[in-house]
Amino acid sequence: MAQISSHRDIVLDVRAEHEADNQRVASRQHAAVVSVFEYIWRLRSPLLRQARIALLLGIALVLLIPNTYESTTRLMPPTQDKSTPLAMLSAVAGGGSNPLLGAAADMLGQKGSGALFVGVLRSDLVQDRLINRYHLRQVYGSRYQEDARRRLSSNTTITEDRKSGIIRITVADRDHARAQDLASAYVEELNNATSHLSTSAAGRERQFLETRLKVVRQELDNSSARLASFSSANSAINIPEQAKALLGAAAALQGEKIAAESQLKGLEEIYAPSNIRVRSLKARIDELDSQLMKLGGDDQGGDSKAELYPGIRQLPKLGVEFAKLYRDTKTSETVFEMLTVQYEMAKVQEAKETPAVRVLDPAGFPERKSGPHRTLIVIAIIAFWVLGVVCLRASSDYFAGLDPQHPLKVVVDRVADDLKTALPLRSKYGIRIARSSSAIYKRIHQPVVVTRTENGVETLHDPES
């Protein structure tokens, strides 16, 4: 029992000592705070003078800062195709029903189009187009494209609401109209970039069909030109119809010839060969023979350019070549029509799959300035100025209170002497500046003597005055 009581006494003594140490530390901290406030209160008069100087300097500075204006536009979250498995997985995971599905969707790369839009808006592609479109290098005074891009990024704020998915684009600029134009141009360039960089299946199909259409169009033009040249050279417009017409004309001429020959035989039995009717019938038969020869053509493949139409004997050869050329032309034409239909359908499907940018709030004309906050800037300047004066005065008093043989004071005096030797001020202007600076330094760092009257009122005065 004695050991237990002695151990308890030791613990109580240690605890009491610890509490006493804490009280001493707290009292020292309290005394330090009180001394700091007392020191600042003693310097209230010079600090007020310095605060007035800082106020004037702050006002002069903030008046030189130009106004900035902000224009904001908001975009609706893009709609996604719910037919694909990854889209359905993303929709289920986004609903919060199962965190594992959300992680699986992220691993599969199924990100929202909102994040895609934000990435495109912040890309160098969009920024370079805006810089070149509005000549922002001259506006910002930037020599390099990278500097103008960095300045545009600092003036632009692009955020996406995680709950609603609404994308907000805010552009700050010194000009009202340019801020509004830049905010609207972001939406336009986003549309152009998403359309140009679309990598959907419909987009790849559209690109293939577009390339194929160019090839088929060229083949159709070539086959049509060959058919036209062949038809012009051989007077072959439509071989089957021409054959029907030529055979009908030849049959009619042959019938007239047979009738004329029968009539001629009858007249030769009655009249002499020198009779006018006999000679006219012979002449007509000769003319019918000549026409039949023209219709028949030359079976040796003679020159048919002198004739208006090909002969019957040439039609089989011309028909084979004509049918080949006509078949090639019709095939190319059919393929071209089919590809044109598929190309239009692919364009429609690509438009459906491409994320559409829907503007919720268009960029408005900024009427009020968004910055700078001149009051806060002036307050900050005054605060930092006064704080610097206090620190400088405290360091000066601390340095003045050191022993002349103190190592720090010895080093500082040596550095000051070396600087005076290395940088002499010999001109009259330099002497005036040095004297003015010395007077200002003494005015700021003059020692302050506090006296208390019988009424308890403290007064500050310079012992040198």
CA distance 395 to 399: 6
Q: What is the dotted CATH code of the domain comprising 68-198+355-361?
A: 3.30.1890
229 exposure class (CB count in 10 Å sphere: 0-12, 13-18, 19+): exposed
Pair 220, 111: CB distance under 8 Å: no
Rounded average pLDDT over 221-246? 73
Q: Which residue would you say has higher pLDDT here, 357 or 58?
A: 58
DSSP H or E stretch at residue 236? none
Tokens coding 402: 């050191």
User: Among positive and negative, which fits the CA dihedral 431, 435, 436, 437?
Assistant: positive
Q: Give the tens place of pLDDT for each residue, 64-96.
A: 888 899 999 999 876 655 444 434 434 444 444
Sheet architecture: strand order including 358-361: 156-160, 167-173, 69-76, 358-361
Identify the weakest region by mean pLDDT among 127-131, 212-216, 413-417. 413-417
pLDDT of residue 368: 87
Average pLDDT over residues 23-27: 78
Q: How far apart are CA 386 and CA 380, in angstroms?
A: 10
The total number of residues shown for the chain amounts to: 465
> Where residue 299 falls among pLDDT bands split at 50, 70, 90?
low
The pair phi, psi for residue 239, each rounded to 5°, is: -60, -45
pLDDT per position as a tens digit, 194-215: 877 766 667 778 888 888 999 9
Chain CA centroid to CA 107, Å: 26
User: What's the whole-number mean pLDDT along residues 437-458?
Assistant: 48
- When pLDDT is cut at 50, 70 and 90, the band that residue 171 belongs to is very high
Query: Which comes out higher in pLDDT, residue 171 or 225?
Result: 171
Q: For residue range 267-287, what is the model confidence (pLDDT) as tens digits?
A: 777 777 777 877 787 787 778
Over residues 39-52, the pLDDT tens digits come to: 778 888 888 888 88
User: 250 or 436: whose pLDDT is higher?
Assistant: 250
Position 313 confidence tier, pLDDT thresholds 50, 70, 90: low
pLDDT of residue 50: 87
pLDDT of res. 464? 45
pLDDT over 80 at 297, yes or no: no
pLDDT at 323 over 60: yes
- What pLDDT sits at residue 62? 86
Task: For CA atoms 394, 395, 397, 401, give the dihedral sign.
Answer: positive
pLDDT class for 457, splitting at 50, 70, 90? very low
Supply 264's token pair: 């001629």
Poorest-pLDDT segment among 69-83, 240-254, 275-289, 358-372: 240-254
pLDDT at position 154 over 50: yes
Higher-pLDDT residue of 119 and 88 is: 119
- Answer yes or no: is pLDDT of 131 > 90: yes
Q: Is the pLDDT assigned to residue 222 strictly greater than 80?
A: yes
Q: Is the dihedral of CA 236, 237, 238, 244 positive or negative?
A: negative
pTM, to two decimals: 0.52
Band the pLDDT of 150: cuts 50, 70, 90.
Answer: very high
Residue 164, pLDDT > 60, answer yes
Amino acid occupying residue 241: E
- Would you put residue 369 in left (φ > 0), alpha (ψ -120 to 50) or beta? beta
